[in-house]
Structure 1
Amino acid sequence: MKELEVAWVMQNVDVIVAAAHQISGAASMAGYGALAAAAKRLDQPDGLDLVFAKSHVEFLRREWTATRYLAQQMVENSSETVAPVAH
């Protein structure tokens, strides 16, 4: 990794770890396992691998995009309708 990339990761490690922790927990609760697993790789405050951090961030970005697309498709293709309640 280039020196600038390492410097950026080192300056932003707290933000990366905090965001990854939030995404990991929320994705896990929502059942998005691939996204949760991608975030979990960065959710390591004491052992974040700086050499692979940039690729992990990119992988997380791709999983996030894919999960958002999947969620949008589920909403758009939902066949459930709300029936009126009879009194």
Structure 2
Amino acid sequence: MQPALIETLGFAAATLTTLCWLPQAVQTIRTRDTRAISLWTQAMFASGIVLWLVYGMLIASWPLIGANAVSLCLVSVILAMKLRHG
């Protein structure tokens, strides 16, 4: 497979898996309802995203860096709302 095609595949996957958090973040901000969200799951997921982000930086993979930076922002908003509003 050609490197450009592999990179495009990575960006497509990163875009889809990152954008899936946008509706949840918007819904959480809008309603402030976090009852159905597990604090521990969100915290562990955010920690995993940080590790993927560091890994992406170490191997200089822009799809990993971009996707995980944006995902971390979205998940951090949800996590902060969960901590603030229980």
TM range (shorter): 0.3 to 0.5
TM-score, normalization by structure 2:
0.40
Bigger helix share: 2
Structure showing greater Rg:
1
- TM-score (normalised: structure 1): 0.40
Q: Which has the higher contact order (CA 8 A, sep 6+)?
A: 2
